[in-house]
Amino acid sequence: MLIDNNLNSESQIIDDLKVLFESSKGRIGIGDDAAVIEHNQLISTDAIVEGVHFIRGRATWEEVAYKLFASNASDIAAMGGFVTGYTLTLSLPEYWTNVDLKSFITGIRLFLKEYPADLLGGDTVRSKEFFASVTVLGRTNSLPWLRANAKEGDFIYCTGTLGDSKLWLNRELETQVLPLQDLEYFRNRHYRPSPRNNVVPFLKKFNITSAMDISDGIVEDLQKLCKASQTNFYLDGNSIPISEKQIGIDNVLEHKIYYQREALIGGEDYELLFTCPEPLDEEVLKNDLVRITRIGRLLSAKDQSFILHAGERLSPDQFKGYQH
């Protein structure tokens, strides 16, 4: 008998842990963006590793720190909560200088100035390469938004624009490079993403059934939500919001299918994906902080998920997002 020694994907590892370690009564553990503990307190952990999440020399240490804290704050927003504090575990790689450390600390300071919360403590260690991990604490004053609570018939919405981070990554890796008009915008969307914590109070006005942040791509993440809620989905590729002005209108007209596809598979935008029973109109969704767009609907477990793209009805398997 052949033994597969390849390490499972992140999704499979999470499923295995969820079965083995059930949460105590009153808590909601593995499976959402953050865990829920007593009195609707929230907790989540995320890490950033050199060579996996960024390439040394491409990003500044200030950007690495900012992105690390932003990704953690986004997990709390995805639960409908607000951040109450952070702890940081930071490696000090052999090649670091005081200038590098100062740059990293500057990134933390910039983020916490824009999204105020306390850095409560943590730990430092020595290592050959850089890694850092943040634990974020939060709270919600109402029931948290859980993936499992989505229902057949719910409409699917997202904040902001999608695919921006992926378009910059493509440029860095020199893969499928097509024109971008505002390069600084796309770099910032990749290294200094805007977690949508400030939009949560506005979204609380609606009857949101479930939510999560978009870290692995809208199609990939929506499949996780549907797995938790035992539903399926359809997405309208033409409705997926892209940064047309920053890409350049002429570029979009010439390569629209490409940019739409990158928006469907691109991760690390840290926008919010959420579901709601009501078909909210554009006037109701108007918000000064961020654009909000209806992009699809949840189907029954008996239906097959599909995406309308380039005039075709396609399977989600044709839109693989980031695989950890």
250-266 residue pLDDT tens: 999 999 999 999 999 99
Summary mean pLDDT of the chain? 90
Residue 17 has what pLDDT? 46
**pLDDT tens digits, residue range 120-137?**
999 999 999 999 999 999
Domain spans in the chain, listed from the N-terminal domain onward:
10-139, 147-318
Better pLDDT: 6 or 185? 185
Q: Is the pLDDT of residue 9 over 70?
A: no
Q: Is the pLDDT of residue 22 over 90?
A: no
Contact 280, 157 (CB under 8 A): yes
Contact 84, 137 (CB under 8 A): yes
Q: Is the pLDDT of residue 28 over 50?
A: yes
Name beta bridge partners: 292.
159
- Of the options 3.90.650.10, 3.40.190.10, 2.10.109.10, 1.10.4190.10, the CATH number for the domain spanning 147-318: 3.90.650.10
Q: Is the pLDDT of residue 20 over 60?
A: no
Q: Is the pLDDT of residue 16 over 60?
A: no
Which tokens hold the place of 315? 């399977």
DSSP 3-state of 255: helix
Residue 140 has what pLDDT? 95
Name beta bridge partners: 297.
155, 234
Residue 90 has what pLDDT? 95
**pLDDT tens digits, residue range 155-179?**
999 999 999 999 999 999 888 778 8
The pLDDT of 315-321, averaged and rounded, is 87
Residue 304 has what pLDDT? 97
Residue 320 has what pLDDT? 79
**pLDDT tens digits, residue range 81-96?**
999 999 999 999 999 9
Residue 39 has what pLDDT? 73
Residue 32 has what pLDDT? 77
At a CB cut-off of 8 Å and minimum separation 6, what does 59 contact? 67, 191
Residue 221 has what pLDDT? 96
Q: Of 209-213, 273-277, 291-295, 318-322, which range is least confident?
A: 318-322
Distances (CA, A) of 25 to 36, 177, 252: 11, 50, 51
Residue with tokens 């209108």: 249
Residue 1 has what pLDDT? 40
CA torsion angle for 297, 299, 303, 304 (degrees, to 10)? 40
- Helix, strand and coil percent figures for the chain, each rounded to 5: 35, 25, 35
- The proportion of the chain whose per-residue pLDDT surpasses 70, expressed as a percent, equals 89
Q: Is the pLDDT of residue 23 over 80?
A: no
Residue with tokens 């791509």: 217
In CATH, what class is 10-139?
A: alpha beta
The pLDDT of 9-31, averaged and rounded, is 51
